[in-house]
Structure 1
Amino acid sequence: RELDKRGLVRSDPFLLMHGDVVTNADVKGALEAHRARKKKDNAAIMTMLFKRVGGWDYTEGDNNEGDSAAGPATPYVRSSPLRPVSDDLVVGLDPTDAHGTRVLLYDSTPRKPSLSLPTSFFASHSRIDLRSDLLDCGIDVCSPDVLARFSDEFDYQDVRRHFVANSCAEEEEGLQNRIYAHVLGEGEYAARVHDFGTYGAVSRDLLRRWCYPVVPDNLPSGYEKRYRYQLTAGGRRFVYRETKGGGGSAG
């Protein structure tokens, strides 16, 4: 609301990105697709970026160490380490929309036992995919209409839980603000550092070079004045060695 009031954002479209995002994604394709949609449909005001990370895996655990008298095995849930503990995101998508993959449902409520979709959606959309294998990258391509909508709706406090969820659920055609999805391709990486768990997962991915060229031995200009990492062979593995102040190296 403050950005809209001061008129600081003048780009159309503009990128809205969380400060804890680590990415090597090329958003040029998402920007071009958003511009093309906006020319044909003025209500297409936002494009969200997602990454495939796999869904939830419910596994029958064995916490009884073979003791059948202790009762049945306890099931446990396993998901991508890039997901925060509170992430129960389910996204409803219509891949048959004329302008792209439209988002019809965005629900990230933790431990919610059920989902709701307007019945009118099943009449107006020939296909709706419910997906739990997508990670919200925290990167959005937005039109200035997003800022204006926030200024009009004073009860909106969160972009995802309020603005996105309510915009997707709007049934009346004239009031709809359409949101679309852009799924990152192979080799593109994007994740948010929500907590210590995701911090560890993202750090491991950086060391494994999944986010190249964002890797320890290719830090942005200016870092080399203090320290630098070099990738060297160490036995059968590659290791990073730190060089400080242009001097010797430390393991």
Structure 2
Amino acid sequence: MNIKKMEKEIHQAVVLIDNDEHFAPIELSKPKVLMNLVDRPMLQYTIDMLTLSNIDEIFLFCGKFFEEIKKFIDDYKRKVYVKLNIQIFFSEDYTSLGPVMRDLYSRGIIKSNFILIHGDCVGNLRLDKMIEKHKENIKKDPGCVMTCIFRKVWPNHRSRSSPNQKTMIALDSQQKIVLFEKSMKKRAEIPTDLFERNSCISIHYDLLDTQIAICSEKVPPDFSDNFDFETRENFIHGLLADIELLCHHIHVEILEEGYAARVDSILAYRNISRDLLQRFVYPIVPNGRVSDINIDDENIECLQLDSDSGHNEEMNENHDDECDSDSTKFSDASDDSYDSLGDEYSAFYNEVYDSVSRGIEEHSIAENIILEINSSKHAYNVPVNEVNSLVIKAVLNLALNSDGNFSSTVKSNLKYGLPIIQNYIKSISSQNDCIYSIEEFQLQNKELVTSLHLIKIIKFLYEENVLEEDLILKWFYKPKSLSDHVTSEQETLRKSKEVGLFIKWLEEAEEESTDDQDD
């Protein structure tokens, strides 16, 4: 009898504890994964899913906050009484996946296929079954070194609110990745040679990337041999570029059922909180009275406190003394109604985007585009303030997604769209919707859209009498906080040279106007 065959396979998991700038300033004083999500720290959800999956050994890799994470793990094992072998590895060099994989290889602790997962992942997947799927892939394709797990969701689903979720992949008939792109653009270029090399290709933009992967023991040495591999995306692109040399492939498992998502942004924090409260992650569900809570946009502001306060605001009680009453008040509105509106906003935005895009291409008169937008507004029952915001964002995103120079394209789009904008931006309230939508657009795309671009857009609308002078000055001196951005981002924008010079010019123009009136 073969004794080796009788031995139980050891299931292992590698958990990455990321440093996440999206949760600054809180993450500066406490690890994000130990922030409470509804009724427990994020990391506990990850470990709960691994426990549910009968994982035997968990290796945590962290680059900061070793003592805090060690204390949490010690407390967890003592309270939950799980017989898990959890080891914590710490190094300031663990800034990305690359150093972790290379260190993992040097330690020689990986015995077979293992799970690669982030410490902010919430889900109810049976990952031991995913390991079996990965083994099946290896039987069919000995070159398979990784199986990435995706969930099937429609493109505008709220789960895909994070920029990390804008993923397009192309698969061959064996579900191997032949193209992998993360992009915010609406159009994608697909090399024609893919069709020459593959008789059958399926292209997907309807998948949510759980960022969970089942890896073979060949993955760590691949990273060790290639120091260009720093992230999973680098790894995938590297294997695709040298596929004939390395002969290593990455397969995809697409799930129709089950839940898994990362808390990798403030928006994801809100959406996953809702999913937990609606028990989409069963059998991992909140305990106690927390299930009666509805979370609205204002609660997210609790996450954006000054780092000096040293507090981690937990959203598991109806009253929270750490935030002021305005920002901790839970909504009385139905959570379901908000979710349905979210999908309708997305559908409405897509129609506005398409209408304006077609209007620009076909030089359609603005009145016809306004009629289309109004028709869509009534069809989706979108509130006026959202219409104002989404119309502005559609005009600006069209310029960002074009192949031309952003400055010239946005100027051209604004000139064409001016009658459309003037139709919706009239009152002080609508002007507020407009200017904060412009600011949010710039902050979301600050690598491509500079503060100078922002000022040129605002100046154009000011000169065309869309935005009033007093409103712009109030926007500068008394800004309201944007839910998806920390206050420091808004402060940095207002401290930029370009914004300062524009405000100075605006104030001087006002003084000259006042002097002329006095004369």
TM-score scaled by length of structure 2:
0.35
Find the aligned partners of 2:180 and 2:261 in 1 and give their Cα distance. Answer: 18
User: What do the CA deviations read for 1:10-42 (whole angstroms, capped 9, x no partner)?
Assistant: 2x1100001111010112332112112324433
Q: Of residues 238, 254, 278 in structure 2, which corresponds to 1:183?
A: 254
Which among 176, 180, 187 is matched to residue 102 of structure 1?
176
Task: Supply the distance in 1 between the matched residues of 2:170 and 2:129 (Cα, whole angstroms).
Answer: 22
2:217 is the alignment partner of 1:117: no
The amino acid that maps onto 2:231 is D
Native 8 Å contact 1:87 1:110 kept in 2: no
For each residue in 1:28-81, what CA deviation from the matched residue of structure 2 results, as whole angstroms up to 9, or x when unmatched? Answer: 33211211232443311110000012114xxxxxxxxxxxxxxxxxxxxxx534
| Mapping 1:25-44, distance limit 5 Å | 25-44=125-144
Partner-residue secondary structure (3-state), 1:127: coil
Task: Select the residue among 147, 170, 175 that pairs with 1:92.
Answer: 170
Which segments of 5 or more consecutive residues in structure 1 lack a partner in the other structure? Answer: 57-78, 218-227, 233-240, 243-250
Given the superposition, is the C-alpha separation of residues 40 and 20 from structure 1 closer, same or farther in structure 2, using an over 3 Å criterion?
Answer: same
3-state SS of the aligned residue for 1:216?
coil
For residues 22-171 of structure 1, what are the structure 2 equivalents within 5 Å?
22-56=122-156, 79-94=157-172, 96-97=173-174, 101-111=175-185, 113-117=187-191, 119=193, 121-159=194-232, 161-171=233-243
Question: 2:137·2:144 contact (CA, 8 Å) conserved in 1?
Answer: yes
**Over residues 194-239 of structure 1, what are the superposed CA-to-partner deviations in whole Å (9 max), with x where a residue is unaligned?**
111000000000001111011113xxxxxxxxxx44768xxxxxxx
2:290 & 2:164 partners in 1: Cα distance?
A: 36
Q: Is the 8 A contact 1:104 1:169 kept in 2?
A: no
Deviation at 1:9, TM superposition (A): 2.0
Change (3 A) 1:18 1:109: same
Residue 118 of structure 1 and its aligned partner are, at CA, apart by: 6.4
Structure 1 residues 171 and 14, CA gap change in structure 2 (3 angstroms):
closer
Checking the alignment, whether the CA contact within 8 Å between 2:113 and 2:217 is kept in structure 1 is yes
What residue number does 2:446 align with?
Answer: none
Q: Which amino acid aligns with 1:130?
A: I
Considering only CA atoms, is the larger Rg found in Structure 1 or Structure 2?
2
Report which structure shows greater RCO (CA 8 Å, sep ≥6): 1
Q: 3-state DSSP class of the match of 2:163?
A: coil
CA–CA separation in structure 2 for the residues paired with 1:106 and 1:229: 43
CA offset digits 1:164-220 (Å, max 9, x no partner): 122234452x5231111111232x001111111000000000001111011113xxx
Aligned to 1:200: 270
Q: Could you tell me which runs of 5 or more consecutive residues in structure 2 were left unpaired when the two chains were aligned.
A: 1-101, 293-315, 318-329, 331-519
Aligned equivalent of 1:211? 281
User: How far apart are 1:83 and its partner, in Å?
Assistant: 3.2
Q: Give the 5 Å matches for 1:223-234.
A: 228-229=288-289
| Cα distance between partner residues in 2 of 1:38 and 1:86 | 28
Q: Which residue of 1 aligns with 2:103?
A: 2
1:8 positional shift: 2.3
Q: Please tell me whether the aligned partners of residues 105 and 169 of structure 1 are also in contact (alpha carbons under 8 angstroms).
A: no
Q: How many angstroms apart in 1 are the aligned matches of 2:239 and 2:205? A: 20
Tell me the TM-score normalized by structure 1.
0.69
Q: Is the 8 A contact 2:124 2:283 kept in 1?
A: yes
The letter of the residue matching 1:165 is H
Q: Is the 8 A contact 1:54 1:80 kept in 2?
A: no
Aligned-pair identity (%): 33
Q: What SS does the corresponding residue of 2:251 show, helix, strand or coil?
A: strand
CA distance in structure 1 between the partners assigned to 2:262 and 2:126 by the alignment: 16
Partner SS, residue 179 of structure 2 = strand
Distance (Å, rounded) in 2 between the aligned partners of 1:175 and 1:231 = 50
Q: Structure 2: which amino acid aligns with 1:146?
A: V
Partner AA of 2:181 in structure 1:
D
**Residues 189, 211 of structure 1: 8 Å contact kept:** yes
Bigger strand share: 1
* 1:91 and 1:105 in contact (8 A); partners too: yes
* Contact 1:107/1:165, CA 8 A, preserved across alignment: no
Report if the CA contact (8 A) 1:81-1:197 is conserved: no
1:148, distance to aligned residue in structure 2 (A): 0.6
For residue 132 of structure 2, give the secondary structure of its aligned residue in structure 1. Answer: helix
Conserved 8 A contact 1:91-1:131: yes
Distance 2:187 2:146 in 1: 28
CA contact (8 A) 1:82 1:202 kept: no
Report the CA distance between 1:84 and its aligned residue.
0.4
Whole-angstrom distance in 2 between the partners of 1:157 and 1:214: 32
Count of residues paired in the alignment: 194
Residues 86, 171 of structure 1: alpha-carbon distance in 2 compared, 3 angstrom cutoff: closer
The answer on whether the counterparts of 1:87 and 1:108 sit within 8 Å (CA) in structure 2 is yes
Please give the alpha-carbon distance, in whole angstroms, between the structure 2 residues aligned to 1:82 and 1:199: 12
